[in-house]
Structure formats: C-alpha cells, structure tokens
Copies of this chain bind each other. A is one copy, B any other.
Amino acid sequence: MNRPRRSEQTRKALIAAGIEHLSVHGYHGTGIKQILDEVSVPKGSFYNFFASKEAFVAEVIGHYSRDLLDQLSEFMTGVGKDLSAVEQLRAIYLYSLKQYASHDFKKSCLVGSIATEISAESEMCRIELERAMGQWLAFYSGVFAQGQAQGLMRDDISPSDMAAVYWAAWEGSLIKMKMSADTQPVKKIMELMIETLLKKS
C-alpha cells in the first residue's frame, strides 16, 4: 500500500517546488521541466497529477495561501496572542521581510508577484488569486477590528477598508523592495501605515 502514499509525497514535492520557482521566476519564467527535474519526476507523470500547467499553478496558489494562513493562525494563537494589534501587524510584516531578504530579494509574495502577470490570461488562476487575497483581507480585517476595540486604530474607517488599503500598501511596497533590493523602504511604508495613518490620533 505504498503507492498512494508515494504519489501523495510526489504531489506535495511538485507543489513545494512550484511555490519556490513561481515566487522567483513568475508564471512564464517557470518551466514545468525545471520543476520535474528538481523533484526527479519523469515528464509524462506530471499529467497524472495535474491537468495542465495552468491547473498546477492554480493549485500552487491555493496551497501557498493556505500555508500562510495556517502560519498566521498559529502565530495569532501562540506568540502573537498577547501582543497589541499594532505589534501583531509589525511582527507579521517583519517576519515576511526577513524571509525575502534571506533569499536576496529574489522572492516576494507569490500572489502579488504573479497576479499581474497571469490574472488576465488565466481565469482559473485569477479565481484562486482572488480567493487568496480575500482570505488575507478577512484576516487583516480581524486584526484591525481588534485594534479599534483596543483604542489603538482610528475608528472612522471600517476594518475591511483598513485591511484593503493596508494590503495594497504592503504589496506595492514589495515592488519597491524588489526594485531597490532593500527592505528599508518597506519598513518605512508599513510603519507609516500602522504608526501614523491608521493609528487613532
């Protein structure tokens, strides 16, 4: 009864390699062959797992997003539990930046980085990207609602609107990070968001 287990492992390995390659090279810059070579899977068997490159990438997006949400949820019920909403937001963005810097800024948010490239071409991927964005917006909304309840965040904007503008500033500042190969500009922008623009005055 090893077979199903092994094929499940192969599937997971293909998705993990997909996350790595797509984060760095984007949709068009990622070849299925590179991914198969990395996982040592013959080309023919790729199609036992996924109907097409497009279906594969859609699944990678969903997987990446769920992984991140699991990490966020673990943080929020663990180390982050006793932090204020502002401290939670800071810890989350600093953690992400540390990851990106350790990869020489070759990687950034997979969703943000391939959304522009592929949304108009692949409806299947666009739906997965939009779903991922929706889940993060819901997550951030919760943090901002908590920040308002704590009296830390301004209360003339709804938590969901705060989440929308915060997410946009985050994704946009990651573009700046890649251009300048530096995390400093992102820190500056995110601190402006949480310490000045979204703060209760």
Query: DSSP class of A's interface residues: helix, strand, loop or mixed?
Result: helix
Is A3 an interface residue, CB under 8 A from the partner? Answer: no
Q: With the chains together, A17 CA to B201 CA distance in Å?
A: 49
Is A90 an interface residue, CB under 8 A from the partner? Answer: no
Binding stretch for chain B, among A21-29, A40-48, A144-152: A21-29
A133–B176 contact, CB under 8 A? Answer: yes
Task: Find the B residue at minimum CB distance from A31.
Answer: B28
B179–A164 contact, CB under 8 A? Answer: no
B120–A116 contact, CB under 8 A? Answer: no
Interface bracket on A = 35 or more
B112–A113 contact, CB under 8 A? Answer: no
A126–B181 contact, CB under 8 A? Answer: yes
B188–A164 contact, CB under 8 A? Answer: yes
A115–B28 contact, CB under 8 A? Answer: no
Is A198 an interface residue, CB under 8 A from the partner? Answer: yes
Which residues of chain A have a CB within 8 Å of any CB of chain B?
Answer: 24-29, 104-106, 108, 112-113, 115-117, 119-121, 126, 129-130, 133, 156-157, 161, 164-165, 167-176, 178-181, 185, 188-189, 192-193, 196-198, 201
Q: Specify which of B104, B117, B173, B185 is in contact with A172 (CB 8 Å cutoff).
A: B173
User: Which of A121, A161, A178 has the most CB atoms of chain B within a 10 A radius of its CB?
Assistant: A178
B176–A126 contact, CB under 8 A? Answer: no
Q: With the chains together, A169 CA to B112 CA distance in Å?
A: 13
Q: Give the shortest distance, in Å, between A45 (CB) and chain B (any CB).
A: 25
A172–B179 contact, CB under 8 A? Answer: no
